[in-house]
Structure 1
């Protein structure tokens, strides 16, 4: 048989997806599993959104649309960007995608040529460097410090820029650490992006999930001279509990938006019509439910942080955004499980917890930071309490 794609073989599978899939498989087999692996709100999609989708089906709105998506939905996105973020985008600058992950892929597809460097601060969302590699680019990873709240400084960014640098990927608020990039820091980063004539892929999927009263979200595209070089990534999965609907979008400069629409016309064509009409309703709704969910996440964050940080051998910083707790467990490495297996890294530690305690969390190596694990607190208080109990029990049994 002839060789298969080297590009696909050279990228790593998503560990977050793998952990969640394995947890669901074990549950289906009847095993008692508590999973905090997936970043998926545990609320149901609001009924108004579901009704809009049902109406679209009843009205037979089931045929092909334009590759960039239904005009009225793109107009709703443009209105959202204007009203919530102070940004002016025409509908032709909006491309609807099959989730925000697809929006990231489309954006990088439009930007990257083989050999281009893309700067990514770590810990990073697992997909960023793998997509860069898939497209022939070179991910340049900037190591951040826990004492700086895992935030890439302007100085660290500038030190990573070379003649081959094409773009910077920034996620704010950040998965997996909950880091918030303040307006002052973002402003300095924006100046460097302009100075070195770079593009920015700004993943803003967690924009509504901030727990700091002093933090006010500002899009990277809102800074001087950044609109013409920023591709905004967003979607409805997190804010409106629509993970399975697979609906996201990218807002981009006109010429880049044209390239993305061309690529989408030859690949997925467009996201599901039904999901698009559901998204239109979501974009028209007030944010009351979103803020209610945010406040509940803050309560859950405080609970989980108190439980996890009290365990000997574990340390964590209080996350200020998103819905993840990133805990340092490196002090446990070198210990042995009850059956004599050495806990040598975050993967062996998470494997041990899943096999022995039925707890699914994600190893930090998935995010480029060994020695850590990620908990998602987008789960019920009962689930969080059970997870914390199993986590502490698993650690207590290490020798």
Structure 2
């Protein structure tokens, strides 16, 4: 018998796998949590970090959930792909809202839009496959790509193009390993809305190149002015058989906490993703699914009311931000975010402190002005702030004014 002591596992194997250890915390949720913690400690912090409507879920949806709690059928396992009635309703809602005709078998109900994004990448990507990711991008996309073994290839746009990428940029980023294009319009974090003809052109280009497209339509109903949302597989039917649409009830019905989303795609992809979900989470909470059923089969009155409020706040926040010296804020046409450039303030002196990045400037704004914003580093483009205007008009004005007064102290 050996007398040697076994090697310490801590010296031979890391405690956390490289795959999970390499994931960054969600920057938007981290900023929101920090703001809430400071508020709980008595600081008058105003947070622009969270990406959720500041409206309650409509009462008829809540009542449907309350009723669902009493039904024993909702106390049991149900099909992993979702309640059949909800899958049918999502197919009908998709045809109604975007003109995309799909069968219930092409719909998979997920735990929020975030799970549908993860499962879409996990279902399509093999190790080393590349994903074209227009930047600025939502913080979760590159992490989901990495978890699936893929490689993110950012395609960067800035305020000079309204934060929209062109086919020439996509073509330049293409390699033999490219498999997927991620497309999001209306965009988080910029609020950019691609014109219908540009959506169609990008869809045709992707089809011509043999790519898959994952198109995130979670903000489909939040567009303003003359902006129009279109679904890529509708305006570019050539891509329909290689396209996954991800969506959910979170933004349209003020249901971020209910965690119901879905992915729509070719039947073979949806079947494979359902197999994954059957081991990952099984079915989404049945009570939440029943609430979502009431939502997607009900009226769009709630989103109409929110859109009116967001449109007013959108114009208000852009005016306030654009008035700050060295800050430039393009007008967002969708979602509920403003994405101003603060590059002109990087390196300036704030009472002797010179922030070297927008992340450092955001920290200063939180400490000195007690305003929480998300720096552009979180979205793949340093030199910017993301501010959600899904908060009360009073808080919006107070917060931006407070930030503006601090930023105005910048000196060379």
Does TM, normalized by the shorter one, top 0.5? yes
- Is 1:41 matched up with 2:53? yes
CA deviation vs aligned residue, 1:340-364 (integer Å, no higher than 9, x gap): 3221111111111111221001001
Q: Of residues 3, 22, 26 in structure 2, which corresponds to 1:14? A: 26
Hey, what does 2:367 align to over in structure 1? 355
Give 3-state SS (helix, strand or coil) of 2:313's partner.
Answer: helix
The two structures, once aligned, show a CA RMSD in angstroms of 1.1
Question: Which protein has the larger Cα radius of gyration, Structure 1 or Structure 2?
Answer: 2
Deviation at 1:98, TM superposition (A): 0.8
Distance 2:360 2:229 in 1: 37
Distance 2:321 2:46 in 1: 15
Hey, what does 2:151 align to over in structure 1? 138
Do the aligned partners of 2:324 and 2:408 also contact (CA within 8 Å) in 1?
A: no
Unaligned runs of 5+ residues in structure 1 are none
- Structure 1 residue ranges (4+ consecutive) displaced by more than 3 angstroms after TM superposition: none
- Is 1:253 matched up with 2:294? no
Write out aligned runs for 1:52-71 (5 A).
52-60=64-72, 61-71=74-84
Q: Of residues 262, 268, 287 in structure 1, which corresponds to 2:275? A: 262
Give 3-state SS (helix, strand or coil) of 2:63's partner.
Answer: helix
CA deviation vs aligned residue, 1:306-331 (integer Å, no higher than 9, x gap): 11111111111011111100011111
Distance 1:139 1:22 in 2: 28
Give 3-state SS (helix, strand or coil) of 1:328's partner.
Answer: coil
CA deviation vs aligned residue, 1:10-66 (integer Å, no higher than 9, x gap): 232211111011111112222211001011100000000000000000223221111
Distance 1:187 1:211 in 2: 20
Q: Of residues 177, 181, 193 in structure 2, which corresponds to 1:180? A: 193
Hey, what does 2:209 align to over in structure 1? 196
Give 3-state SS (helix, strand or coil) of 2:280's partner.
Answer: coil
- Is 1:272 matched up with 2:285? yes
Unaligned runs of 5+ residues in structure 2 are 1-9
Hey, what does 2:88 align to over in structure 1? 75
Do the aligned partners of 2:313 and 2:393 also contact (CA within 8 Å) in 1?
A: yes
Do the aligned partners of 1:117 and 1:166 also contact (CA within 8 Å) in 2?
A: yes
How high is the TM-score relative to the length of structure 1? Answer: 0.97
Give 3-state SS (helix, strand or coil) of 2:94's partner.
Answer: helix
- Is 1:163 matched up with 2:176? yes
Deviation at 1:388, TM superposition (A): 1.1
- Is 1:334 matched up with 2:347? yes
CA deviation vs aligned residue, 1:281-329 (integer Å, no higher than 9, x gap): 0001111221121121010001111111111111110111111000111
Deviation at 1:188, TM superposition (A): 1.1
